[in-house]
Structure 1
Amino acid sequence: MSVLATPHEAQAGAAGGKARALAQLQSVHRIPAWIALKPGACPPTADPDDLYVPEAVWAEVAAALPTLGTPLYAVRSSALDEDGAEHSFAGQLASYLNVPPTEVRARIADVWRSGLSGHSLAYRRERGLAPATPPGVIVQAMVPADQAGVAFSADPVTGERDVTVISAVPGLGEALVSGELTGATYHVQGERVTGTDALLRREDVMAVARLARTCEAHFGAPQDIEWALHAGELYLLQSRPITTLRAFEPRTWWDNSNIVESYSGVTTPLTFSFARRAYANVYRRFVRLLGVPDADIRAHARVFDGMIGLVGGRVYYNLTHWYVALALLPGFRVNRRFMETMMGVAEGMPADLHVQSTRGRAQDALYLARTVGGLLGAYRRLPRMREEFLARLNRVLAPADPPLHQRTLGGLAAHYRELESELLDRWDAPLVNDFFAMIFYGVLKTLCVKWLDDPHGTRQNDLITATGQMVSAEPARLIADLARLTPPELRPTLEVGTPEQIQVAVRTVPALRAAADAYLARFGDRTLDELKLESTTLTDDETPLWRSVASLARHGEPAHGAETKRDHAEADALARLSPLRRAVFRWVLREARARVRDRENLRLERTRAFGRARTLLRAAGQHLADAGVLDRADDVFYLDVEDVLGFAEGTGSTRDLGGLARVRRAEFERHALAPAPPRRFATRGAVGLSPTEVAASARPPAEGPVRAGLGCSPGVLRGPVRVVRDPRTANIHEPTILVAERTDPGWILILPMARALIVERGSLLSHSAIVARELGIPAVVAVDDLMDWLQDGDEVELDGASGTVRLLRRANEEG
C-alpha cells in the first residue's frame, strides 16, 4: 500500500487537515504541486528522538520529488486535526522552506518529531484533544515569491465579515508568519482599499482579496490563507478556518431550570423531536390568543421552532428565543418577570442578552390594548375552553379500536396525525390556565405582602394548601387504600420479591388486584420521567408501585393536618381585612386555588396524551423491527418522529432507519457517559461547534450551616434526611425528610412517606411545590448545590415559610 495519499484520499482527510484543504482547493485556484505522506508512514517508536524515515517510505517519496518540478521544496505538517474549525495548531508543528532534495528525508522526520514535542502535547492537553500521533507531511514545490503573506476573508480583530485583511512582505511569507517582519497591511471592503504602503499594486491586493473570499465561499466559513506572488502569478499555499472569529459571534443562552422536571438527564431523539414540535405549536397558539398578529408570528418562525434545544443529549430552554418571543408582547420589561416565574428561571435575563421590543410607544399601547383584550377574552372563555379541550381529549384518547398493536404502520401514522392535529396543535386550555395560575398566584402573593404584612412573601402558600380535587394528590390516597388492603403476610414479598413473585402474591387477594388495576387504568402512565417516551411506566412494570404500598402498609401514612393549616390561615387573613378588601381577597384566592388546581389536573391529561403517543410509537417500532428495518423495537427511540412518519407516508429522506438508529444510539450512549452541561450556559455561533461558556454566578457560593431556597409549603420540621436520586430504587422504611435534585409526578410513589421535602431545583409553581402543599408537608425548593451539601442521615431543620434549611448535625457526628 502506498504511503502517499491519492487525491481522493487527501480530500477525505487521510493525509491530515492541511492536505485535505489543498486537495479540495485544487480546482479552485493555482496551487504549487505537492505530495502528501499519510500519518501511517511514520514508524512506531517510544522515543521521538529515534524517529527516522524508513527506506521503503523514502524510496516512494524520492521517486515523486521530480514530478513537483522545482529544485527546492517546502516540507509542512498536516496533522489529522490540524487547520480545523476548532483548532488551527498554528505554531505548534514544524514547517521548513527552501529544502534541497538531499535534506527532504531529514526534514520529514523533523516534522514527525514536532507532532510529539512537549509544546504540542501541552497544546492538546489544554484543549482536551486526543493524544498526539505523528502528523501527515506535505512536500510542496517551493515558489520563489516576489511578495507573499497571509489574508483573512473576515477581519480577525473586529469580526467584520465584509472586510478582508491582507498582510504582505517582500520575498517569502515566513518572515511575516514568524513575526520577524511586520509587513504591509491592507483592508478591502467592497472596492475600497486602505493600506499602509505601496508594496502591492491595487490589482494584486484585489486579486488576493478575491482569492480569500473564494476560499471562504468554497468552505462555507471565513478563511485564513497563505499566498505568494511570483512573476505576476498568484499562488495559494494553504487555507484554514479563522478560529478566532467565534468570539465575535452572538451568544445563545441555554437554561434547564424547570424543564429538568420533565426531561431530566439524557433524552432520546424521539422524545426531543416530539417535545420540540409541541413547544413550537403551543406557544405559537398562545401568543396568537394574546393578540400577536400572524405576520409577527410567521416572521419569528425560527424562534418558535427553537424554544427548546438538545445539547449534549439533554433538553434545555433556548433562553434567547424565549425572550425574543416574549418581546412580541407589549410591556416587555414587566411581562418578562412573569415568564421567568413560570419557567422557574432564578437568575433572570443574562446581562449581555439584549432583547427589546421594536415597537414605538404608540404602537406598543395599541398592542397592549389588543393583549389585554385577548387576556380578558381568554379568561372569559377558559371554562368553555377547558370543557372543549377535555371532550376532544377524551374522544381522541378513547380506547383504540382496533387496538394500536393490531394496526398497520400506516394506520399508526394516521392515528398520530389525528393526535397531533386534535391535541398537540390545540393545547389552548392548559396553556391559558397556566398563564392565569401564574397571574393569580402572583396577585395573591402581592396582596399577602401588602395587606397582611407578610415579611417572607410566602403566606399565599398557606392559603392554597390542600385545595382538594387535585389529581396529583389522588395517587397518594389510592396508594394508602392499597396499603390498607394489603395483608401483613404479603408485605415481605412486595418489599423484596421479583416482579413475577409480586404478581402471583397480589392475585391471591382479588380486592387488592382489582384496586391496583383501577389505579393503573388511571395512573399507569404517571411515572418517573413520564414525558420521556422511552420511560418505563407502571403498566410495563408494577414493582415500584408495590414497593411503595409495602412501605406504607408497614409504617402507615404520616398525618399532616393540611386542611387545618389552610382553614386557620384563611380565617386569620380574612379577619384582618376590611369588607371591600375581604371581597377582593376572596375572589383572588378562589381563582388562585382553581387555576393552580387545574394546572396540576391538566398535567395528568398531558400525561395521558404523551402516554398514547408512547404506546403508538412503540407499536411502530415493533412493526419496523418485525419487518427487519430496525434491529430491535426500542431502536425507535433513536429516530425522530418525522423519521418514523416519513417512512410510513413516503416523505422520509432515508429508508435505512436501522443504520440511523445505530449511529444515534452510539452517540447517545456517549452522551450518557459524558458530564452534563451546566444548569445555565452560553454557546457562540453554531451550537454544534461551540464549547459551552459558563457565566459567573451572581450569587456567591453558599457557606455555613444555613442555606436559603424558596419556601413553598409552610411548616417547620426537624429530623434526619433521606437523599433520593431515583425513587424507583429507594426503599424508604419509615417516614422521613426527603431530599432530591428534582421531582416529577412519578415521585408520588414515595411522597406519601415524606414528612417534608427539600429540592435542589424547582419554583413556587413546580410540581414538587404544588403537591407538597396539597399533601400539607413542609417544603423548600431551589436550594443551590443541595445534593452536594446533604447526605443520608444528616439532621436538619427546615422552614417551609421562610425557605431556610439549617444543618444541625452530620450523620457521622455524635449527638
Structure 2
Amino acid sequence: MTTPLTFSFAQRAYATVYRQTMRTLGLPAATIAAHEPVVTQLLGLVQGRIYYNINNWYRGLQLLPSFRQNKADMERMMGLDEPVDFVQSTAKTLPEKLRLLPRLALNMTRLLAAFASLPRRVQAFQEQFEQQYQRFYQLPLSKLSAAELLAEKARLDRTLLDQWTTPIINDFRVMMLNGDVARRLRRAGVADPDEFLSRYFAAATAELASARPAHAMQALAREVRAHYPQLVPLLRELPPGLSRQIQELAPDLHLVIDEYLAQYGDRSIGELKLETETMRTDENLFYRYLNNYLSQESPIASPAATSRLHEAATAELQSLLRRQPWWRRAGGVWRSLRQLQAALARREELRLDRTHLFGMYRALYRALGQRLAAAGQLPTALDVFYLTETEIRQAAENPARPDQSALVTARQQEFAAYRRQAVPGRVTLPGRPASPPETDPSDTRLRGTGCYPGRVSGEVVVITEAGDSLAVAGRIVVAPRTDPGWAALFPTCRGVLIERGSALSHSVILLRELGIPTIINIPGLCQRLRSGQQLAMDGSSGEIEVVVETELAHA
C-alpha cells in the first residue's frame, strides 16, 4: 500500500529520469516529445498499489537496438514470472530497418560510451550528491515558510533529481550484463544461471553499500554490551522517551547514535514510500532494530562458507568450459562476470543515495504538512500524504484555497478499503484486477527459488509493513517483497522467505553476503503463513515444510 503523494512523486521522478536517459542517448527533441505519453505513464496506481505499466517500458526499449533481447533482460531483472506480450508487433520491414539503423547505431555508441565512463561519472555524481545532502540537513526546516520549502523542493529537483542520469545508465548496464552473463553461462552448459550466480556472488570481494547499515548497527550493539551493559534492560524495555533517557545516562553513546541516524536514518522498511516512518523521523524505530542485535554476540555470516560457495561455482564453470570449443574459453564469460559484479556494487552505492534523496523529499513534505495544518488547510500534518504533489503546491501557494479536509477524509476511507484487499502481482487493465490465487491452508509444503543454501528451522515472523513486529532475531522472516531498507533487519534472522523477488535484487545480494538461507518467488506465501508458526526451509532446493499445530502439540 502507498499514498497519493508517493505515487504522484514516483510518477514524476520516473518521467524525469526517463527523459534524461533519452537525452543521454542522443535522441532528437521531437522523438523525446513524442514519447511524453509513455514517460508520464510508466507507473500505475491500482487499488492503492503501484504497478509498473509494462507496455510503456517496452515502448521505451524500442528506442534501443535488440528490442527482443533487451525485453527479455528487463523481464529477468524485474523478476517477472511469465513473459508479457507486447501490445504491438515489433517486426519491421527491411527498408524500415535500414532507415532506423543510423539512429540505433548512434544510440548504442552513446550508451557504450556512457558505460565506459561510469567509474568517473559515479564519482562525480556522488561528490555532487554529498554536497547537496550536507547542505540540506543544515536547513532549519521547521522555521521555513511554505514558500521557502517549495523553493527548497525546486532546488532538490534541479540539483539532484534532474541530474539522475548516472544511476539510470548503471541500471541499464546491470540489466544488459545480467542478460549477457545468463546467455554465456547457458552456452557453457550451466543449467540454471540464477542458481549459479547466487553461489558465484556469495563471497563479495568488498563490502556492499547496502550492508553497511547492518554492520554499523552490529558494531553499535557490541559497543553497548561492552561499555554500557547497565542500559541493556532499558533498551529492551523500549519505554516512552527512551532517546532522552539515553542522552541523559550516556551522552557519548547518544552522539554515536546521532551519527548513525545522520548516515543511515533514512534506510528503513518501505523507505521508498514518503509516508513511511523511518529511523530519522521516529528514533524509537532505531531502538526496535537495535534490540535484534543486543543478544547477538557475533555476526551470523560465515565468510568461510560463502568463500567455499564461490570457489565451488568457479571450479564448476572452469570444468564446463574445458569441454567447450577454445573460442568459448577465451575469457568472455569471466570478463562479463567481473563487469557484472562491479556494476552491481555501483548499483548498491547509488541506491543508498536514492534512499537519501527520498529522505530529503520526505522531510520537506512533512514540513509542508505542518504549514498546511497550521494554516487550517489540513486536519493534521501527516494528512499531507493523501494529497498529490500538485495539490500540495497549489495549497501552499494559495493560503485562501479551501480546506482540504473533505478530500483527505474521502481518500483515507478509500485507501483503508484497499488495505483490506489482497491484490495479485500482475493485473490487466482496463477491468478490475483478478483475485490472487487461493491457497490451501492444509497444504504444509511450499516451494520457491533457492537463492542461498542452508537448511534451517524456526519460528516465523511475517512483516508486511514497518508497523509490524520487527523482532526478527533467531526467527525466519517472511515478507511479500523487500527493498534495501530491510538491510538492518537481516543479520540476526535465521532465514528469509520472500513472496516476490529477483535473484539479483538488492536484498538477495545482501543476504548472500551475510550467508543467510534465502528463498524467493513463493506463490501465496503471505496468505499461507502467519507469525508464530514453525517451519523448516532448504535454501538450496527452495523447499519449505510448515509444521502444523497438532504436530507442535504432540511434540
Task: Give yes or no for TM over 0.5.
Answer: yes
Residue 798 of structure 1 corresponds to 538
Residue 184 of structure 1 corresponds to none
Residue 174 of structure 2 corresponds to 437
Residue 722 of structure 1 corresponds to 460
Take 1:310 and 1:295, find their aligned partners in 2: how far apart are those partners?
29
Residue 419 of structure 1 corresponds to 156
Take 2:176 and 2:236, find their aligned partners in 1: how far apart are those partners?
44
For the Cα contact (< 8 Å) 1:683–1:692, is it kept in 2? yes
For the Cα contact (< 8 Å) 1:436–1:595, is it kept in 2? yes
Residue 35 of structure 1 corresponds to none
**Matched letter for residue 262 of structure 2:** A
Take 1:296 and 1:680, find their aligned partners in 2: how far apart are those partners?
30
Take 2:493 and 2:442, find their aligned partners in 1: how far apart are those partners?
27
Take 2:72 and 2:529, find their aligned partners in 1: how far apart are those partners?
31
Query: What pairs up with 1:45-64 in 2 under 5 angstroms?
Result: none
1:531 partnered with 2:272: yes
1:682 partnered with 2:428: yes
Note closer, same or farther for the CA distance 1:272–1:770 as it changes in structure 2 (3 Å cut).
same
Take 1:464 and 1:456, find their aligned partners in 2: how far apart are those partners?
12
Higher mean Cα deviation, 614-623 or 569-578? 569-578
Q: CA deviation at 1:610?
A: 1.2
Q: CA deviation at 1:734?
A: 4.3
Q: CA deviation at 1:604?
A: 1.0
Residue 616 of structure 1 corresponds to 364
Structure 1: tracts of 5 or more residues without a match: 1-264, 685-690
Residues 437-480 of structure 1 deviation map (CA, whole Å, 9 limit, x = unaligned)? 12223333334443363456411122222422312111111111
Take 1:793 and 1:365, find their aligned partners in 2: how far apart are those partners?
58
**Matched letter for residue 656 of structure 1:** R
Count of residues paired in the alignment: 535
SS of the residue 2:241 aligns to = helix
Q: Bigger radius of gyration, 1 or 2? A: 1
Residue 413 of structure 2 corresponds to 669
Note closer, same or farther for the CA distance 1:731–1:663 as it changes in structure 2 (3 Å cut).
closer
Residue 553 of structure 1 corresponds to 294
Residues 666-712 of structure 1 deviation map (CA, whole Å, 9 limit, x = unaligned)? 2233222232443222233xxxxxx4153998x99999655443333
2:42 pairs with one of 294, 307, 314: 307
Take 1:294 and 1:812, find their aligned partners in 2: how far apart are those partners?
67
SS of the residue 1:682 aligns to = coil
**Matched letter for residue 356 of structure 1:** T
Query: What pairs up with 1:27-42 in 2 under 5 angstroms?
Result: none
Take 2:331 and 2:63, find their aligned partners in 1: how far apart are those partners?
35
Take 2:283 and 2:19, find their aligned partners in 1: how far apart are those partners?
38
1:465 pairs with one of 163, 187, 202: 202
Higher relative contact order (CA 8 A, sep 6+): 2
Residue 344 of structure 1 corresponds to 79
Q: CA deviation at 1:396?
A: 2.3
Residues 309-334 of structure 1 deviation map (CA, whole Å, 9 limit, x = unaligned)? 22223212222322222233333222
Q: CA deviation at 1:378?
A: 1.4
SS of the residue 2:231 aligns to = helix
Q: CA deviation at 1:626?
A: 2.6
1:319 partnered with 2:319: no
**Matched letter for residue 309 of structure 1:** G
Q: CA deviation at 1:632?
A: 2.7
Residue 330 of structure 1 corresponds to 65
Note closer, same or farther for the CA distance 1:558–1:582 as it changes in structure 2 (3 Å cut).
farther
Higher normalized strand content (fraction of residues): 1
1:775 partnered with 2:514: yes
For the Cα contact (< 8 Å) 2:70–2:176, is it kept in 1? no
For the Cα contact (< 8 Å) 1:740–1:760, is it kept in 2? yes
1:694 partnered with 2:434: yes
Residue 384 of structure 1 corresponds to 120
Note closer, same or farther for the CA distance 1:727–1:812 as it changes in structure 2 (3 Å cut).
farther
For the Cα contact (< 8 Å) 1:558–1:735, is it kept in 2? no
1:564 pairs with one of 287, 307, 327: 307
SS of the residue 1:758 aligns to = strand
Give the TM-score of the pair, scaled to structure 2: 0.87
Take 2:440 and 2:169, find their aligned partners in 1: how far apart are those partners?
37
For the Cα contact (< 8 Å) 1:445–1:458, is it kept in 2? no
Higher normalized helix content (fraction of residues): 2
Residue 254 of structure 2 corresponds to 513
Residues 542-586 of structure 1 deviation map (CA, whole Å, 9 limit, x = unaligned)? 223223323322243453324423552465257535698374344
1:597 pairs with one of 342, 345, 358: 345
Note closer, same or farther for the CA distance 1:619–1:512 as it changes in structure 2 (3 Å cut).
same
Residues 393-442 of structure 1 deviation map (CA, whole Å, 9 limit, x = unaligned)? 22322234542223232222222112112221221111111111122233
Query: What pairs up with 1:355-394 in 2 under 5 angstroms?
Result: 355-356=89-90, 360-394=96-130
Take 1:794 and 1:554, find their aligned partners in 2: how far apart are those partners?
21
**Matched letter for residue 520 of structure 1:** L
For the Cα contact (< 8 Å) 2:501–2:520, is it kept in 1? yes
Residues 364-404 of structure 1 deviation map (CA, whole Å, 9 limit, x = unaligned)? 44344233212211111212221232222223222345422
**Matched letter for residue 394 of structure 1:** E
**Matched letter for residue 539 of structure 2:** D
The share of aligned pairs that are identical, in percent, is 33
**Matched letter for residue 269 of structure 2:** L
SS of the residue 1:780 aligns to = strand
**Matched letter for residue 774 of structure 1:** E
Residue 393 of structure 2 corresponds to 645
SS of the residue 1:711 aligns to = strand
Take 2:161 and 2:258, find their aligned partners in 1: how far apart are those partners?
28
Take 2:248 and 2:313, find their aligned partners in 1: how far apart are those partners?
46
Residue 486 of structure 2 corresponds to 747
Residues 127-185 of structure 1 deviation map (CA, whole Å, 9 limit, x = unaligned)? xxxxxxxxxxxxxxxxxxxxxxxxxxxxxxxxxxxxxxxxxxxxxxxxxxxxxxxxxxx
Note closer, same or farther for the CA distance 1:511–1:569 as it changes in structure 2 (3 Å cut).
farther
Note closer, same or farther for the CA distance 1:420–1:357 as it changes in structure 2 (3 Å cut).
farther
1:298 pairs with one of 20, 30, 33: 33
Take 1:619 and 1:700, find their aligned partners in 2: how far apart are those partners?
44
